[in-house]
Amino acid sequence: MSDEAADLRIGDVARLAGTTPRTIRYYEEIGLLPPPRGRQPGAHRTYAASDVERLTELLRLKSLLGLSLEELRGMVEAEDARAALRREWQDGVDDPVRRRQILAESDAHLSRQLELVRRRRDEIAELEAELQARRRRARQLARELDHEPARD
């Protein structure tokens, strides 16, 4: 699927990304997705393959990390900022001071993203520890029951 063919309709995008047109419209409304690239005759929104990729990544991050929409927005903003810096770098920046600034800004965006991921990881580890403790307690109670005399 090439990006030149921006002829995917919202239902196609929803099906390819595993979501609903309503989610797509909402993500557009709150700024997580850019507005559609165009409209077909009859006022149908049209999308490109890159829109499917972005939506799929948003849904993956939201699901994988359990992000709120605000946290997801922060991840997207950082990724968009890094993409802009990457384009600037690739266009050729001769000034060593600006090259260092680009790298420092990219590092700062990555640090924010990593902080969110690490916070989620720590929350999951804490939940895992709690569940393991509950399971140990339940198993201990079951062993204790095994040693009790039967009641009539």
pTM to 2 decimals?
0.69
Q: What token pair was written down for 24?
A: 């797509």
Q: What is the pLDDT along the chain (152 residues), one digit of tens a residue?
A: 444 455 888 888 999 999 999 999 899 888 888 877 766 556 677 888 888 999 999 999 888 888 888 888 899 889 899 999 999 999 998 999 999 999 999 999 999 999 999 999 999 999 999 999 999 999 999 999 888 777 76
Query: What is the structure's pLDDT at 1?
Result: 43
Q: Which residue has the tokens 């709120």?
A: 68
Q: How many CB atoms lie within 10 A of CB 72?
A: 19
- CATH fold of 1-65: Multidrug-efflux Transporter Regulator; Chain: A; Domain 2 (1.10.1660)
Give how far Cα 57 sits from Cα of 10, 40, 42, 65, Å: 17, 26, 29, 12
Helix/strand/coil for 54: helix
Helix/strand/coil for 5: coil
Query: What is the structure's pLDDT at 6?
Result: 58
Query: What is the structure's pLDDT at 42?
Result: 63
What distance lies between CA 29 and its chain's CA centroid? Answer: 17
* Spans of all domains in the chain: 1-65, 66-152
